[in-house]
Structures are given as structure tokens and as C-alpha cells.
Amino acid sequence: MKTTRDQLFKMPKIELHAHIGGSIRESTIIELINKKNKDPEAIKQILDSCRIDPKQSKEVGRRNLNECFKMFEVIHDLTSTDVTVMTRITKETIEDYADDNVIYLELRTTPRAIGQNGSKYDYVTHVIKGIEDYYQSHPDSPIIVRLLLTIDRQKSLQEAKENIELAHTYPSKYIVGMDFSGNPFKGPFSNFQHLIKEAREKHKLPFSIHMGEVLNDDEVLLIISTKPERVGHAVCWQSESTRDEFIRSQIPLEVCLSSNHCTTTSREEGDHPFAEYAKTTNRSGMHMCLNCDDKGIFQTTTTDEYLMAADDFSLSVEEFCEMQADMANYIFDKESIEGVRSQIIKYRDSLSS
């Protein structure tokens, strides 16, 4: 039987790869632009540069990653004067995921000093306020929200050190780990490797590392050898043996299908580790879940990511439940594992009764 959108919408979901900056609602972008510039043509131009519709992009040609990173510059520019806007964007992002039946959400963001006397500490405070505001206005919401702080590979080692320091000293139960991301054409992982190793060993910070978003097997093999807690993307391989090495490593993977479609980073369908997952019967050792990456930019939802995978790879809702129940073992808030797993399994069992 064909998997329906309704089944996938109702399925309790985990979303482990969501950049706050790329999750901004279009209506919020319009409001922010209106505050700066009321010329409708300028608004249209900025909106065109801030959004990729994956359905449209298949027909009119995809954008590349560099173009995608220009959009982040626009979004950062729109959010660069008043740090309180981060509270609003964070809250709205959580509302959108909760409305999509996401029950465990790990957001990630790069601390920035916003405004004249702003600091990275302020930035994190305002993001966390967004989480608290959400809970205050939705006291019965079942969603569990946690936060990863990002190291942007484009920025300096000093910036990376500051973000690690914030992650392990900021007094909040919401911060549960770190992300390594940013433009993959810039700042090699090897520059940051020792810092990340120290943060994992000394401060016990788990890391999710962006890997294989562009062709660079040397970097992919280096990242695999450091055995990060999780990786994101992993779609570009210069040689099949690198992909096989990754699959053998059993490192849990945050799959981002729309993002990979849009930015042309995925090669033939067969190269994607998710295709390998879908076609094998013995999936033990393969840990994956589907994610939006930047739901605002790619105009997607977690449900839509599962629907795309159901259509392209013919998987059932029961199989998606099993995939997610397994991946729940690798969420960074270890105290939430059992509760999250049991909700997913309960839904799977309800389908057969």
C-alpha cells in the first residue's frame, strides 16, 4: 500500500538537522525587508534570492551551494541590527516544527554579535528566550527542543574556540552539543580538528559534522577517522570505496534530501547512502533520519522529506518508524531517548491495530 502524506504527517518525528537562520518564515523575511525598504521590486529581488523551491528547481535548474550561501548573507543582513529578532525566529521555527508533529527538535545556530554592543552570549540568550517563549505560550506542547552551537568553518579558530567555550559554560539545559558547518568550499576541517577533539574529550560535547557536501574524499576520510557522534549530508564521493568506508563506519547520518537536490550535491541516486539503506534488507549498523536542513530556504517540512523518500525509495511508514526509533538512540539529549523512542514505536504499533 502506498504511504500517504497523512500517515507521515501523523507520525511522531525527530528533526536533528535544522539551522535556525535557514528556517526563517517567508512572512517574517517580508516583514524584516519592509522595515528596511518598502520598494516592492527590491522586496521581490530579495525574496527570490532567499528561497529555492525544490519542486520548481527540478524544472528550471538548481542553484549551487555558493548561491545558497549568498542567501545566508542576505538573511544575516536582515537580522543584523536587533538581536531580539532571533527570539522571534527561534519561536516561530519551533511552532512550525511542532505543527508538523515533530516531537524532538535539535536546532543549531552560529553565535553572532548583533547590534552595536551585542555579544555572542547575548545572541545565545535571545535564542534560548525563543525556546522559553515557545513553551510559555504553548504549555501543553509535547515537543522537546534542544540546541547545538555551530562552528562556522569560514570563520577563524578564535571564533570556533569562543563557540566551544559558550557551549560548555553557558548555563542552560537546552544546549546539548555542537555543529560544524558553513560553506564547504572554505575552511578545511583539518584546521579545526584538534579543537573539536579537545571539546569532545575535555568538555564531553557531542558533535555533528557536515561532511561530503562537495567532492573531497580526503576530508571525508579524515572526518570518518575521528568518529564524530553524527554527520550530516554525506552525499558526494570521488570514489565508491569512500562511500563504503562511511557505511562501514556506522556513524549516524542526518539525511537532507531537499537540500541535496537543490544544491546539486547529490550525484546519481544510487550514490546516496540513503539509497543503500532503502534497498538493503539488513539495515543493522545503518543509522539515519530525514531532515529539512533549512526549511525556509528549501520550502520544506519534515513530513515532506519523508514523503519524498517514500515516493522515491518506496518505503512504508512502518519502516520510517523503525528508522527513526533506531536514530533516536543518537539524539544528543540522552535523557530524552526512551520517551522519544516509545512515542514512535507506539505510533507504529497503532497502525496495525
Shortest Å, Cβ 340 to ligand 6MZ:
23
The 207-226 site mask, x for binding ligand 6MZ (CB under 6 A), equals ---x--x-------------
Residue number, nearest CB to ligand 6MZ: 21
Question: Of residues 213, 254, 305, 319, which has the active-site annotation?
Answer: 213
Which of these segments, 17-25, 56-64, 137-145, 275-283, binds ligand 6MZ (CB under 6 A)?
17-25
Q: Which of 279, 266, 282, 274 is nearest to 246 (CA)?
A: 274
Please say if 213 is a catalytic residue. yes
- Binding range to ligand 6MZ, per CB under 6 A, among 19-27, 97-105, 188-196, 240-248: 19-27
Q: Is residue 206 a contact point for ligand 6MZ (CB under 6 A)?
A: no
Q: Is 100 in the site for ligand 6MZ (CB under 6 A)?
A: no
Concatenating the DSSP letter of every residue in 65-106 gives: HHHHHHHHHHHHHHTSS-THHHHHHHHHHHHHHHHTTEEEEE
The mark string for 269-298 relative to ligand 6MZ (x by CB under 6 A, - otherwise) is ------------------------xx----
Report the alpha-carbon distance of residue 230 to residue 238 in Å, rounded: 21
CA separation for the pair 276, 267 (Å, rounded): 14
Q: Return the residue matching grid coordinates 537532507.
A: 256
Q: Which of 19, 88, 126, 129 binds ligand 6MZ (CB under 6 A)?
A: 19
* Residues 232-251 interacting with ligand 6MZ (rule: CB under 6 A): none
Q: Is 252 in the site for ligand 6MZ (CB under 6 A)?
A: no
| Binding segment toward ligand 6MZ, per CB under 6 A, in 4-12, 18-26, 98-106, 135-143 | 18-26
Joined together, the cell numbers standing for residue 225 give 577517522
Which of these ranges, 15-23, 45-53, 219-227, 273-281, lies near ligand 6MZ under the rule CB under 6 A?
15-23
Give burial (CB, 10 Å; 0-12/13-18/19+) of 352.
exposed
For 198, the enclosing helix (H) or strand (E) is helix 189-202
CB atoms within 10 A of CB 25: 16
- Count helices and strands in the chain by DSSP H and E runs: 17, 8
CA distance 329 to 71: 34
Query: At its nearest, how many Å lie between ligand 6MZ and the CB of residue 267?
Result: 16
Q: Output the nine-digit C-alpha cell for 347.
A: 505510533
Q: Is 68 in the site for ligand 6MZ (CB under 6 A)?
A: yes
Binding piece for ligand 6MZ, criterion CB under 6 A, among 14-22, 31-39, 138-146, 305-313: 14-22
Q: Is residue 239 helix, strand or coil? A: coil
List, in sequence order, every beta strand (DSSP E) within the chain: 13-19, 102-109, 144-152, 175-181, 207-211, 230-233, 253-255, 288-290
User: What is the chain's alpha carbon radius of gyration, rounded to the nearest angstrom?
Assistant: 19
| Minimum distance, C-beta of residue 17 to ligand 6MZ, in the bound complex (Å) | 9
Strand partners, 253: 231, 288
Looking at the Cβ atoms of 119 and 316, the one nearer to ligand 6MZ is 119
Strand partners, 104: 14, 144
Q: Are 127 and 86 in contact (CB under 8 A)?
A: yes
State the minimum distance, in angstroms, from the CB of residue 64 to ligand 6MZ. Answer: 11
Of 12 and 232, the one with the shorter C-beta distance to ligand 6MZ is 232
Q: Tell whether residue 21 is a contact of ligand 6MZ (CB under 6 A).
A: yes
Q: Shortest approach of ligand 6MZ to residue 218 CB, angstroms? A: 18
Interface residues with ligand 6MZ (CB under 6 A) are: 19-22, 68, 72, 109-110, 150, 152, 181-182, 210, 213, 259, 263, 293-294
- Give the residue numbers annotated as catalytic, written as ranges: 213
